[in-house]
Amino acid sequence: MTIALQAMPRGIGRLTAALGLAALVASTASAQVIGVATMAPGSLNHTTGTAIARVAKAHASLNALVQPTAGETVVLAIVGQGEADLGIANALEVVEATKNKQLPNLRLIGAIHPLYTAYFVRKDSPLRTIADLKGKRVVSGFSAQRTLDISGRALLAAGGIGDSDIKPVRVPNVVRGADEFVAGNSDTFFFAFGAPKVREVDATAGGIRVLEVPEAGMKAAQTIFPQGYLARVEPGPLFVGVERPMGVYTWDNLLFTNAKVADDVVYKVIKAMVEHKADLVTVQPALRALTPEGLYKNFGVPYHPGALKYFSENKITVQ
């Protein structure tokens, strides 16, 4: 740029530089900046947030920036307080966080994909089912993801395991739980399928395997966590540790926002996600399950007007 300007008459050089600066400012201003709060890098939600941010930037003129946090409890708090524009958390976290008019400004955008989860063990472990965790060292607590303790206990209940039946290994979040497992401090770890951390642990630990959930135990599990259900899955790249077709413990992952976020921002995000789903899936395969109809479900939490506008225009009714 300096060489080119030196070769030009002074007035033309200054004009060219001024026009270039103006174009840069205009380009920056045209892309509205929004924050997407997620869990830590390595988690499923961080990858999901990264996919959504890229599509929003590429196809909705929104300069979406990923904001990693310690866990979903933190994500809900900062979005509810307006410190981030979008956030991702599981359905249980959202329902619990909005009870008794907590976070009154939190608004749903939609259910973006099922959250398939499991307790994993080393591939050469003799443990095969959830019931086999009795007396074992099990990650628990999840102080930065408080409701995961509920879903974890519900999954254990499906195998007839109660709090007094395990040796708890207290961790703040699932990423730390995986690290404790790799370090040999726990016999199992709890995580969502599709997270980079699961693939990392699989490679580091010499292979991992999913503990099977008995369908007969789901009634006990649902007394603790009613939103949980079994979904049938098959071995594949997404389902690391699944050795044969089986049911895995599942609930929904939600995208949400703050009531003060502009309607057109939420509308544009949904539109970009639906119309450019292929781009989402290249970053986060779990988003293959995203459908326009599946976005709108009743969780007892209000939806953002921008989302309701999209649903109305596309004749999508609540499931």
74-95 pLDDT per residue, tens: 999 999 999 999 999 989 889 8
Q: What value does the mean pLDDT of the chain take?
A: 90
Tell me if 31-115+252-313 shares its fold with 116-251: yes
Q: Is the alpha carbon torsion for 136, 220, 302, 281 positive or negative?
A: positive
E strand or H helix at 201: helix 196-204
Report pLDDT for 48: 96
Say what the pTM is: 0.73
22-26, 153-157, 232-236: lowest mean pLDDT where? 22-26
When mean pLDDT is compared over 9-23, 94-108, 140-154, the highest value belongs to 94-108
Q: Mean pLDDT, to the nearest integer, of 277-297?
A: 95
CA atoms within 13 A on the CB side of 194: 24
Report pLDDT for 71: 87
> Nearest CA to 45 among 198, 228, 172?
198
Report pLDDT for 30: 54
Report pLDDT for 31: 67
Asked if CATH classification 3.30.70.1060 holds for the domain at 116-251, the reply, yes or no, is no
Fold annotation for 31-115+252-313: D-Maltodextrin-Binding Protein; domain 2 (3.40.190)
Reply yes or no on whether the pLDDT at 269 is more than 80.
Answer: yes
Report pLDDT for 226: 86
Distance CA 242, CA 210 (A): 6
Model confidence pLDDT, tens digit, residues 106-131: 999 999 999 899 999 999 999 999 99
Residue 70: how many other CB atoms lie within 10 Å: 16
Reply yes or no on whether the pLDDT at 9 is more than 60.
Answer: no
Percent of the chain at pLDDT exceeding 90: 77
Distance CA 183, CA 268 (A): 44
Reply yes or no on whether the pLDDT at 284 is more than 60.
Answer: yes
Reply yes or no on whether the pLDDT at 8 is more than 50.
Answer: no
> Nearest CA to 127 among 210, 216, 200?
210
Residue ranges of the domains in the chain?
31-115+252-313, 116-251
Residue 28's identity, in one-letter code, is T
